[in-house]
Chains A and B, each alone.
Chain A
């Protein structure tokens, strides 16, 4: 009898586990549907290529300055102090990391995977937000990132599950809209101006000596023209990546707005997937654009 009872229990357990597996495999969750976790991984790799270049542009301009013969520039002029550029790049990296972590968390929550939270991110964002010398958009981005981060921390602490996903999305939509808008503005306005400065540095560096070249320097001039064209092409590539970054931020904002809309309608996963698919595709294209340009020489 005991052996029969054990076999019976075992059979029931196998049936139960099999049923659970069948039901799970037929159920599509938001992460499967929208690929939020994979998208977050891509964004985590590609967005810093643009934001880190806020510091890169200063370094490149200083190289041009230092390669200009001292006799051709006033003695009082000095290379730029790159610290403000580096601080802004660092600030942007932390804020966009929060944005990406948030979308990753949505994916994990949607698929009931364990949500984790890195307390170190919190400390970093808080520290960088304390710097009030940034532009207003950069400061706003820092404040929004802190708000999103607090919400994530609360979700982890309170053990949020899939059913609380809609609540999290609705509560965070204003901060996500503002954060994406601010990051977009800092890159497509402030960084754009820094790249325009770099363009002027390049033109000043090359065009003067080229205009003053002597006829016997013909071959040297051809080499310099080629180098100038190469540098301009690399700069144009950075400008294109900047535009792709702006598009990615618009898509993140649009994606979140659609998720909020669908959450409020309590739409099915199939319907959500249908609604967000074009935005996800556009976002992937923008991130892929940044990646492909980063591989160009």
Chain B
């Protein structure tokens, strides 16, 4: 990571490396795949393509793919205060979400997890550490895993 000058006592702003951005993009893509699988399993189990929750999951898949593409394509120079800490918190949250979605049958819970991950991505774009930490915590809560 490339650090900018820091004033004594103030954490330095750090720009995420391309590999870190790529890892973030991959995490959001992987969650999109899991959400897509939950949707498909529900359809195979009898849900209709137009059921509100199925439609919501479809929308979540689109949103998560767009987020992943944005990280891969255009989100260079993402500079965060305490970037290492932010990346660690985001990684833990997305890993928990991915794990919770794996083989999940509960569509409502899948919608909650996916929505919380989308909020996390929006928090990352604000570059506000407080919002990122709070959103990451919400993902962990939605995934039903204690911190």
Contact = CB atoms under 8 A, between A and B. Distances in A.
A73 interface: yes
Interface stretch (B44-52, B93-101, B136-144): B44-52
A201 B32 CA distance: 10
A55 B70 CA distance: 14
Contact of A135 (B18, B54, B55, B59): B18
Interface string A186-206: 000110011011001101100
B56 A71 contact: no
Given A132-B77, A204-B61, A193 B29 contact: yes
B3 to A, nearest CB: 15
B45 to A, nearest CB: 9
Given A74-B58, A77-B62, 12 more contacts: A74-B59, A88-B73, A132-B77, A134-B76, A135-B75, A193-B25, A193-B26, A193-B68, A197-B29, A197-B68, A200-B29, A212-B48
6 contacts: A136-B17, A185-B18, A193-B25, A193-B29, A197-B29, A200-B29
B21 interface: yes
Contact of B58 (A73, A133, A196, A197): A73
A201 B40 contact: no
A63 interface: no
Interface of B: 17-18, 21-22, 25-26, 29, 32-33, 36, 39-40, 43-44, 48-50, 54-56, 58-59, 61-63, 65-66, 68-70, 72-77
Contacts of B39: 204, 208
B40 A207 contact: yes
A68 B22 CA distance: 29
A212 B72 contact: no
Binding site secondary structure of chain A: helix
**6 closest Cβ contacts across the A-B interface?**
A74-B59, A136-B18, A190-B72, A211-B44, A193-B72, A211-B43
A73 B43 contact: no
A139 interface: yes
B73 A190 contact: yes
A80 B62 CA distance: 9
Given A193-B29, A196-B29, A208 B49 contact: yes
Contact of B65 (A85, A88, A200): A200
A24 B18 CA distance: 50
Nearest to B48: A212
A237 interface: no
Interface of A: 61, 65, 68-69, 71-74, 76-77, 80, 84-85, 88, 132-139, 185, 189-190, 193-194, 196-197, 200-201, 203-204, 207-209, 211-212
Contacts of A201: 65
B80 to A, nearest CB: 15
A201 B66 CA distance: 11
A74 B33 contact: no
Q: Which of A69, A74, A204 has the most CB of B within 10 A?
A: A204
Contact of B40 (A69, A80, A85, A211): A211
Nearest to A88: B73
Given A73-B58, A74-B58, A193-B68, A134 B74 contact: yes
Contacts of A72: 49-50, 54-55, 58
